Structure 1
Amino acid sequence: MGRLTTHVLDTVHGVPAAGVQFMLHRLAPQRILLLDGRTNADGRCDRPLLEGAAFTAGTYELDFHAGDYFAARGLDLPRPRFLDIVTLRFGIADAAQHYHVPLLVSPFAYSTYRGS
């Protein structure tokens, strides 16, 4: 059985981003909230976001509250924030595989990839 995991890296400070609020949604037939949590001290979740019977093929979105994270770290951010909530939309095609969706983020840029 496959599983879905994530982690967040703060590219401004060069550290794992601890305490970032995230929300996982499934997008079929409408947007449904599956999970709401925060990253741990290592910038990861304490358990997989999806696994077992809950891990199914489909389209998902992960919302990361990056603006709140950087504001809490004391960064002087413009109003409105250039990046506030970073939404990653991705598809799971094979529920037998492991999908890792990391976020590398700063107040002005982000990147992601399918990790292992």
Structure 2
Amino acid sequence: MNTLSSHVLDTTLGKPVAGLPITLYTCRGDSLQTQTDHDGRCSQWQDADFIAGEYRLRFHCQTYLCQTHGQSFYPFVDISFLLGDQSSHYHVPLLISPYGFSSYRGS
């Protein structure tokens, strides 16, 4: 079975982002709400079954960026990705700052 995790890092401060709300949109049309833990990580998706298909993570970053840096160009960041049909672990990190973000497939 596939598994999914994420990690959010504030590149301006060089620190993880705790308590950031995340919405996962599954290939079946469901949406699940969660948030990052104290270390900016997230791997708790209720009882999601990660079958092959297209998924999207929405990171709700505006409140955090405004409170921490006084401004945010992005109200949220959406990252769409594909999960394969083999049993793999997928890690989707997000690096954010008030005016930029990046992501990649981690391990």
Shorter-chain TM-score above 0.5? yes
3-state SS of the aligned residue for 1:83?
coil
C-alpha contact (below 8 Å) 2:34/2:44 kept by paired residues: no
Offset, 1:32:
2.7
Q: Distance in 2 between matches of 1:16 and 1:98?
A: 21
State the partner residue of 1:44.
41
Aligned partners of 1:66 and 1:107 also within 8 Å? no
Query: 1:66 aligns to what?
Result: 61
Whole-angstrom CA distance in 1 between matches of 2:77 and 2:57: 8
How many Å apart are 1:12 and its aligned residue? 1.1
Q: Report the aligned-residue RMSD.
A: 1.9
CA distance in 2, matches of 1:27, 1:82: 28
Q: Percent identity?
A: 42
Instruction: Show CA shifts across 1:21-46 (max 9, x none).
Output: 10000245xx431x20111110002x
Gaps of 5+ in 1: none
TM-score by length of 2: 0.89
Cα distance change, pair 89–5 in 1 and its aligned pair in 2 (3 A): same
Q: How many residues matched?
A: 107
Letter paired with 2:33: D
Moved over 6 A (4+): none
1:57 corresponds to: 52
Q: Aligned ranges for residues 35-114 of structure 1 at < 5 Å? A: 35-45=32-42, 47-49=43-45, 54-73=49-68, 75-77=69-71, 81-114=72-105
Gaps of 5+ in 2: none
